[in-house]
A and B are shown apart, each in its own frame.
Chain A
Amino acid sequence: MTSLNETVELRRLTPSGITRFKKLLAQLATEPELDIEQEMSSPIYYEKVRSGKVFPAANFVTKKDYGRWLTGQLSEMENVTSDVGLWSWIALKHFDSIRFSNKQGTKASRTANRYVLDTPRSSYRHLAWQCWWAIKNFDTAGEFLLDGNDKWKHPLSYQGGEVMAQLGANQKTAGSVPMVDFGRRVFTSPTTGKRSKMLSGSGRISPRDFVRVSKQLYLTYDLASMSVEKLTNLYPERYRSLAANH
């Protein structure tokens, strides 16, 4: 379980704060013990958010919880989707929780766009933005995008194999409620609701192949306006049979 221990007033990183944060993230590769929060303590790196909004203390067990919490907290704010300073501040505030960790549980930083929002092409890579985006846009169906390994030591960090990596990068094609719901039916067990092993593969039935087929269909059909049942009938048998089991 991870937590944000204190109530804090919402902030935004200034351009100099963003530059500094990126520099520190790069430094982490060679200095993993670097205290980012300490290094970012100067007030010149922050500016107030006009709404005066505060983030209360909170606990998150999964990415779904985190997404739901962020969606609630930011619901009254306008134009947050591409607010680089805000999302970078959120990632900084929650850095210890969302920081990338490998299979051994060792924390690392990886690429800066996991923490500093890189609009517009790579927003989905941002570890806080992606949780917010999935729940805000798809609600319960969006939880599927954030499904990860339950046993992962740091549940909010990047684990690899999340569906978000495929669908988030192809929002025009796959980013609609029926498509996400269809994807959930294909890649989760109809009995237990648990994610299928095929989610982390790259073979004949995999998120990558699913997106490839979807892109082809997208040229001819408006996938976002179709019901899941209609979508099911469009796809090749290998996907049709999996979805039909639900």
Chain B
Amino acid sequence: MRRRLNYTGRKRIKREHFMAKVVGDDGLVVSMHLDCSQTEFPDNAIVIAEPHIGTVSQRINLGTIAKLDTSANHDLSSLGSPEKIIFDVKVVSEDGLILGSGTGIPLTGRGESGGSRSLLPVRKSLELGNEIWKLRSLEDAEPCLLINGKVSGLLDRLVSDPLIQGAILVPAVRMIVTYLLEDGTPESVPWQGHWATWFATAMEGKSLEDAMSEADSDTFAIQRFADEAAISFADQFGFADSLEQAE
């Protein structure tokens, strides 16, 4: 299990304290908001947002803690697809030391509320080729289900059709849980918090941490736990049961 040391006492900027949201109807214009009222930083600390896709990133200076300037909108069209853009945000001292940081914060789409927390947000993507769905890379940010934007009505069916829900969501949950059981510590996977909460509920109180220690990186044990969690998820929503009743 990887361990990360935070010997400079860097504070964590949580997702609920930073929001980047798509505004306007054209292009990819984004507004940002940072709430630092919960954390104490020096007034002269500099705030920097870094939207990035893969290896391509931009750097946006949002002023200082005392004079935070989030009034301007920023055009991120040059970065490419909005569903893949994620943000890192840093509060930095004048001499370059990072005082606080938040990583892997997804861009909130038009009409979405940044305050709500979905366990598995869904985004349309036009870059899936002939794949129907896939998970965005779990290394970059919290889980996000990408569905093929070319498939007409797929989002509606995902919301309403238990057959589509069961066929897509159950394997997606299995994949996420497998990833977490391999190395899902809060240090190595910053987004694991609400999934860890869900896991404990789905596994009748067994914590993610306990499951990780029990599995101890053994592939078969990890798979067994992931199967149990996926079954619990499927039972919770009763996908097959509702189809049986429908017939």
Contact = CB atoms under 8 A, between A and B. Distances in A.
A80 B95 CA distance: 34
Contacts of B234: none
A222 B48 contact: yes
Contacts of A79: 77-78
B59 interface: yes
Given A120-B79, A225-B92, 13 more contacts: A78-B78, A82-B53, A82-B56, A82-B80, A119-B54, A120-B54, A120-B56, A123-B56, A171-B56, A172-B52, A220-B98, A222-B46, A222-B48
Nearest to A133: B56
Interface in A47-84: 78-82
Contact of A172 (B10, B46, B50): B50
A156 to B, nearest CB: 22
Contacts of B46: 222, 225
Give the bracket for the number of chain A residues in contact with chain B.
20 to 34
B151 to A, nearest CB: 17
A159 to B, nearest CB: 21
Contacts, number: 74
Give the bracket for the number of chain B residues in contact with chain A.
20 to 34
Contacts of B92: 222, 225
A224 interface: yes
B84 interface: yes
Contact of A81 (B10, B56, B95, B98): B56
A226 B92 CA distance: 11
A82 B98 contact: no
Contacts of A124: 55
Interface string A211-242: 00000000111111110001000000000000
Given A79-B77, A81-B79, A120-B84, A222 B98 contact: yes
B57 A175 contact: yes
A175 B57 CA distance: 9
A4 interface: no
Nearest to A81: B78
20 contacts: A78-B78, A79-B77, A79-B78, A80-B78, A81-B79, A119-B54, A120-B54, A120-B84, A121-B55, A170-B55, A171-B52, A171-B56, A219-B4, A219-B98, A220-B97, A222-B48, A222-B92, A224-B59, A226-B96, A230-B96
